[in-house]
Structure 1
Amino acid sequence: MANVIKEKPSIIHGQHKFCAGCSHGIFYRLIQECVEELGYAKRQIIALGVGCSSNLILNDVDNSDKFQCAHGRAGATATGIKRMRPDVLVMTYQGDGDCGVIGLAETLNAAYRNEKITCFTVNNANFGMTGGQMSWTTLPGQKTTTSIHGRECEQNGWPLHLPEMIAANLKPAYVARCAVYDAKTVAEAKRYIKNALEAQINGEGYSMVELLGVCPTNWGMSPLKATEWLKTELQKEYPLGEFKRRDGQDA
């Protein structure tokens, strides 16, 4: 069988400006591949969090409609957009600091109401855009610019597992966590993304996919070492998989 080369989604016309080795570019491309395959390339609105995700509007990566939200308010903004425009695909694209720290109330309220939106969030265990400060997702003992001796959880709290929290305590349509460090995880991530979008399209309710991403710049590592650290350390704390499957989905 001849190899099939997947062309980039037609809506993407520019180059992203994320740091070398960062997971954002792959994750966002997979989202747009799924959006295009589902027939919504010209019927999507993305509520952007404040953070590295802001690169998607600052650098004119594609032709999708975007709304730059105040810090942490993407969940609330997406809710308003979807209620006014139920005919379009409405997504948030946020980092863990925006989605799970500053915007935790908005994220949980949208999930609590089972709003028919899709939340995409990137967990790289730090505040990436503002200099690598400690986040609620930072690992115990992990060094950041605000935890130079390593995170002390007895003082600063323990890592937040947002997808598991939403899946276990609320009634969402679909919740999963993925990564994109090899062919297998990329294929799995795309399947999760499509499931999340289809849940919205079919009116099933709130869906979330968290990407476990690398941040070589703020971790102070090469892209290769950052990927290995994700697999050996970060993934122990944040396992990949589906935490809430869609109703009727095969086990």
Structure 2
Amino acid sequence: MSEFTGNEIIHQYLRHNKKFPHVLCPGCGHGIVLGSLIRSVHSLALAKDDVVLVAGIGCSGRLAVYVDFNTVHTTHGRALTFATGIKMANPKLKVICIMGDGDALSIGGNHLIHAARRNIGITALILNNNIYGMTGGQCSPTTPEGSWSMTSPFGQMEKSFDIVELGTAAGANFVARGTVFHIHNLDRMVSKAIERPGFNLVEIVSPCHTQFGRKNKYKSPVDMYRWIKKNATPLERYNELPEEQRAGRLPLGVFVERDAPGLEERYQALKEKLMEGAS
């Protein structure tokens, strides 16, 4: 690990020839995620050349532009397919895939399910702001039922996905939920996900005031962060609450933690076995 601390850590990992300040809106939580990702990589003493950040299209996809890792800015919904190919080609790399809720769960939903099923050794960070932020504020698969968007002006009528439940059911090794308000917990969560085997999914709740907040009667980004502070509940405490008190609350923490070997490990073991048999 380098001796850099504080802001110097951030500067060590950024590409300074890119335009700063970043393109994210005031109050957006994605910039906080960028800082958390950098601190997590630094805390694990990973060499920048050993890290690959794969991003899709959307506001979250811009984060790959700024960091001085190996980076791939891919097509909409296909980030996990590129990440899978990279990990299978070079299993020694730490492959991190960063996506928005629309990117990961709508056009990319099939890839998410099968990446988790295969338990491929990727860390998937899903930045959930409940909306398509970059393309005009359409409702996404996580837009809460009854809330408003450009494509649901009379209220969202469909049940939304629960990212944690989806990742758990699909077979991910590690499933967790954090928020950009609880930053120290998020740093630890992301660090843990990166260093673990198999498919590790972290949902990160990140407010979008520009597209979601304004349409849903939040007067400012601060009000959205206050909502998180008021309603986010540690998983252990949430599980102790009676059912009638859980409504509207957001459970945070680690929901699944397994140590099954990743697909790339199983593939390598099979390859070695077959080569031994052929010799």
What is the TM-score of this pair, normalised by structure 1? Answer: 0.85
From 184, 189, 192, the counterpart of 1:192: 189
- Within the candidate set 7, 19, 23, 1:17 is matched to 23
Contact 1:132 1:144 in 2 (8 A): yes
Moved more, 223-232 or 28-37: 223-232
**Counterpart of 2:268?**
none
> 1:46: Cα distance to partner?
1.2
Q: Secondary structure at the match of 1:240?
A: strand
How far apart are the structure 1 equivalents of 2:204 and 2:59?
A: 14
Query: Equivalent residues in 2 for 1:80-229 (5 A)?
Result: 80-152=85-157, 157-167=158-168, 169-181=169-181, 185-199=182-196, 204-218=197-211, 219-220=213-214, 221-229=219-227
Task: Supply the AA of the counterpart residue of 2:205.
Answer: L
Deviation at 1:56, TM superposition (A): 2.5
Question: Do the aligned residues in 2 keep the contact of 1:48 with 1:54 (CA within 8 Å)?
Answer: yes
Question: Is the contact between residue 76 and residue 107 of structure 1 (CA under 8 Å) also seen in structure 2?
Answer: no
5+ residue gaps in structure 2?
234-247, 261-279
CA deviation profile, 1:90-143 (whole Å, cap 9, x unmatched): 011110000011100011111100000110011111101111111111112111
Q: Which amino acid aligns with 2:100?
A: G
Show structure 1 runs of 5+ residues with no match.
none
* Residue 237 of structure 1, CA deviation: 5.9
Where has structure 1 moved over 6 Å in runs of 4 or more? none
CA distance in 2, matches of 1:231, 1:139: 18
* Distance of 2:249 and 2:87 partners within structure 1: 33
Partner of 2:53: 46
Q: Residue in 2 aligned with 1:243? A: 255
Three-state SS of the structure 2 residue aligned to 1:90 is strand
Letter matched to residue 203 of structure 2: E
1:56 maps onto 2:63 in alignment: yes
Question: Shift of residue 6 of structure 1?
Answer: 2.6
CA displacement, residues 161-205 of structure 1 (integer Å, 9 cap, x when unaligned): 1222221x2332211010022xxx111111110110010xxxx21
In structure 1, C-alpha distance between the alignment counterparts of 2:107 and 2:180, rounded to whole Å: 25
Q: What is the number of equivalent residue pairs in this alignment?
A: 230
Secondary structure of the 2:80 match is helix
The answer to whether the Cα contact below 8 Å between 1:161 and 1:238 also exists between their aligned partners in 2 is no
Per-residue deviation, residues 12-34 of structure 1 (Å, max 9, x unmatched): 24432211111111112111111
Looking at structure 1, the residues matched to 183 and 161 of structure 2 have their Cα atoms a distance apart, in angstroms, of: 24
More helix by share: 2
1:174–1:195 CA contact under 8 A, matched in 2: no
Residue 239 of structure 2 corresponds to none
Matched, 1:37 2:35: no
Q: Does 1:6 align with 2:15?
A: no
More displaced 10-residue stretch of structure 1: 138-147 or 9-18: 9-18
Identical amino acids, percent of aligned pairs: 33
